[in-house]
């Protein structure tokens, strides 16, 4: 040992036989002292200088090139052979300090590189977790990244929820383990200081435990460790780090719990020996890294929870809107939902097609969301259509039908009254039976005429295709007359009733058809008032085009094939199929599956529907998704 009190206090001196010199060391720094006459090869010098923890002191007369090198290299010094001991000690001390500086610089560079790497990782992690909106995937990602940056073998993640009693509870959501495989089930537990995760929530601070079994026996801390998992799975938990995730409002909304930091992150803890060799406590740097990640994770989780809440509110609004429409026409209940299911199922099928016209079709998650909501809301505009038109089952409205029936009954009663009055007057005049029979016959003819007219009206009122002769009979019936209670004379049918009964197809007049068709415009106007954002901006356009036809004969815009969005073409197929096969309605009977598919084929032949979409709908049996 070099004497105390001098410049080399704390240094040791050893013979370095491999290099033929002496080695002076202090801490981790070393100086190799060699005579110039012992220096025979340049590589030996380069080797010594290349070592970051070693400096070289040459004593004697060196070659000229070494003198030049000594002036350029801080880790190399040259001294003459007759240098005094004190100067030698000062030179050695100076070299040791230089090596210390080199080592500190190297450590600083390494730490800087490590810090830059960690910052880069945290930035990438932050970018990844802030882009994830699905809560389960987000939690899994947060746990995965937390384990990655700390070298943890396992971990769990909890979410703080409101409990039924008004308090809070911890909801165990996910776990990961590199060493063992097992099925984890979600569960809840109270937020209190009896568990490590609960204490992290209560105190809003990280908890770092070097050995959970030692802490479990320590009465000075309130929390303990549940050994049941280790016993059940044959695992050995040692070190643990629980870090709370805190929201922007400074509330703990979750906990990241990491288990067993490993020296080698790639190793498996397959036994007691591996655990003893590999597991170490989580150090301060781990706490800092996880705390930084947890800060980002807390904001990301809060955003995801808010996003889910907003999405649930929106879903509720959409379903309430659909229910409001369907309550106006109960016979169409479930139509919008079924159209949405069928449309999305057909789109998913298209997304997998690798041949044909739609082999390049692609429906992203956003595309599917747009289609789903557009299909759910495609008939919302019916709220702007008169309810009596929506549910009109016959050509005449119920009140019109009842009014005509009352007129016919009134006309029959009036004829009966006239018959009785005329018979009484004839009998007072002394008329014979022949005269009375003639009066009765005239009444019977009039009554038969009125009842026959009513039968014609009843037949004509059905929503079916009428023959030309039936139209003539409606005109004849319209010319019949009756007297009201005040004796005024009127035609049996009004002009509007005649127009309604002469409808050749269905039960709606041209004006009523236009009113029904206006629901698409109302839908579009309603949907454009909603701030859908970039992700679902096409919903109004998709919904508006679901009654367009490839040949341009559709409505409301009359656009042709290339101008109709693919999502709208998909929805059109689903909409027509469900309208054909839905349960019986007052104005139509439900069609069988094969008949409905046949009609879709007719629509293709007429140039209305996309042939390939109908083919895929049929062959992939998409229609069975709502059975």
- Quick one: CA dihedral 491, 496, 497, 500, positive or negative? positive
- The whole-number pLDDT of residue 393 equals 85
HSE of 8, CA atoms in CB hemisphere, 13 A: 24
Q: Do 69 and 42 form a contact (C-beta atoms < 8 A)?
A: no
- The whole-number pLDDT of residue 122 equals 64
**DSSP H or E run through 57:** strand 54-59
Quote the distance between the C-alpha of residue 520 and its chain's center.
Answer: 28
- The whole-number pLDDT of residue 2 equals 47
- The whole-number pLDDT of residue 63 equals 66
List, for the chain, all residue ranges whose pLDDT scores fall below the cut of 70. Answer: 1-21, 37-53, 57, 62-76, 105-123, 125-126, 128, 216-218, 464-470, 584-588, 627
- The whole-number pLDDT of residue 570 equals 97
- The whole-number pLDDT of residue 86 equals 79
Tell me the three state secondary structure of residue 64: helix
**DSSP H or E run through 54:** strand 54-59
The token duo for 512 is: 């009523």
Q: How many beta carbons lie within 10 A of that of residue 116, not counting itself?
A: 10
Q: Buried b vs exposed e over 8-33: b needs ≥16 C-beta within 10 Å? A: beebeeeebeebebbbbbbeebbbbb
Cis omega before residue 556 (within 30°)?
A: yes
Sequence-distant (≥ 6) Cβ neighbours of residue 163 within 8 angstroms: 169, 190
- The whole-number pLDDT of residue 200 equals 94
- The whole-number pLDDT of residue 527 equals 92
Q: Do 210 and 279 form a contact (C-beta atoms < 8 A)?
A: no
Sequence-distant (≥ 6) Cβ neighbours of residue 69 within 8 angstroms: 76
What is the radius of gyration, based on Cα positions, of the chain? 46
Strand partners for 262: 279
Q: Do 468 and 445 form a contact (C-beta atoms < 8 A)?
A: no
> Distance between CA 545 and CA 125 in Å, rounded?
42
Q: Buried b vs exposed e over 550-589: b needs ≥16 C-beta within 10 Å? A: beeebbbbebeeeebbbbbbbbbbbbbbbbbbbeeeebee
Sequence-distant (≥ 6) Cβ neighbours of residue 180 within 8 angstroms: 233, 234, 235
- The whole-number pLDDT of residue 72 equals 47
- The whole-number pLDDT of residue 21 equals 67
User: Cα dist. 233→171, 236, 271, 349, 497 in Å?
Assistant: 21, 9, 12, 43, 82
- The whole-number pLDDT of residue 93 equals 81
- The whole-number pLDDT of residue 4 equals 45
> Distance between CA 479 and CA 452 in Å, rounded?
14
């Amino acid at each position: 040992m070099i004497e105390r009190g001098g410049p080399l206090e704390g240094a040791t001196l050893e013979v370095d036989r491999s290099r033929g010199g002496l080695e002076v060391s202090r801490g981790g720094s070393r100086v190799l002292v060699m005579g110039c006459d012992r220096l025979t090869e340049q590589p030996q010098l380069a080797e010594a200088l290349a070592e970051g923890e070693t400096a070289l002191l040459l004593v004697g007369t060196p070659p000229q090139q070494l003198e030049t090198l000594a002036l350029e290299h801080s880790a190399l010094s040259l001294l003459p052979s007759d240098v005094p001991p004190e100067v030698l000690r000062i030179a050695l001390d100076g070299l040791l300090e230089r090596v210390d500086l080199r080592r500190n610089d190297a450590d600083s560079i390494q730490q800087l590189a490590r810090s830059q790497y960690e910052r880069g990782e945290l930035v990438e992690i932050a970018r990844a977790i802030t882009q994830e909106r699905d809560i389960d995937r987000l939690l899994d990602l947060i746990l995965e990244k937390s384990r990655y940056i700390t070298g943890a073998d396992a971990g769990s993640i909890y979410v703080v929820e409101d409990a039924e009693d008004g308090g809070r509870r911890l909801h165990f959501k996910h776990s990961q383990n590199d060493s063992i495989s097992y099925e984890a089930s979600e569960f809840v537990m109270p937020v209190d200081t009896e568990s490590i995760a609960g204490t992290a929530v209560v105190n809003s601070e990280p908890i770092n435990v070097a050995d959970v079994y030692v802490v479990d026996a320590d009465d000075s801390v309130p929390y303990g460790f549940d050994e049941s998992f280790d016993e059940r799975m044959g695992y050995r938990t040692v070190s643990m780090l629980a870090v709370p995730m805190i929201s922007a409002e400074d509330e703990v909304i979750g906990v990241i719990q990491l288990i067993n930091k490993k020296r080698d992150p790639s190793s498996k803890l397959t036994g007691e020996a591996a655990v003893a060799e590999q597991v170490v406590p989580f150090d301060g740097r781990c706490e800092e890294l996880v705390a930084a990640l947890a800060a980002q994770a807390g904001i990301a989780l809060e955003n995801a929870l808010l996003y889910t809440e907003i999405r649930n509110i929106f879903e509720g609004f959409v379903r309430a809107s659909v229910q409001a429409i369907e309550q106006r026409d109960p016979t169409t209940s479930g139509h919008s939902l079924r159209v949405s299911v069928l449309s999305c199922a057909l789109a998913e099928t298209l997304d997998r097609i690798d041949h044909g016209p739609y082999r390049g079709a692609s429906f992203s998650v956003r595309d599917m969301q747009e289609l789903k909501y557009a299909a759910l809301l495609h008939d919302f505009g019916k709220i702007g259509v008169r309810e009596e038109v929506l549910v009109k089952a016959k050509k005449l409205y119920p009140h019109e039908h009842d009014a005509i029936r009352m007129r016919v009954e009134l006309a029959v009663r009036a004829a009966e009254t006239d018959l009785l009055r005329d018979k009484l007057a004839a009998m007072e005049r002394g008329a014979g039976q022949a005269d009375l029979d003639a009066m009765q016959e005239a009444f019977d003819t009039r009554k038969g005429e009125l009842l026959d007219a009513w039968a014609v009206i009843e037949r004509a009122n059905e929503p079916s295709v009428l023959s030309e002769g039936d139209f003539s009979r409606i005109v004849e019936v319209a010319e019949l007359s009756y007297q009201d209670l005040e004796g005024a004379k009127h035609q049996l049918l009004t002009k509007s009733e005649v127009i309604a009964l002469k409808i050749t197809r269905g039960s709606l007049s041209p004006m009523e058809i236009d009113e029904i068709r206006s629901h698409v415009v109302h839908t579009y106007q309603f949907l454009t008032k909603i701030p859908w954002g970039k992700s679902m901006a096409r919903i109004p356009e998709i919904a508006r085009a679901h009654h367009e036809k490839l040949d341009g004969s559709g409505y409301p815009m009359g656009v042709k094939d290339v101008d109709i969005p693919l999502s709208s073409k998909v929805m059109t197929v689903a909409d027509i199929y469900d309208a054909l096969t839905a349960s019986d309605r007052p104005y139509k009977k439900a069609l069988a599956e094969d008949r409905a598919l046949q009609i879709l084929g007719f629509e293709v032949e007429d140039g209305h529907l996309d042939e390939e979409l109908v083919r895929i709908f049929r062959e992939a049996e998409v229609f069975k998704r709502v059975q």
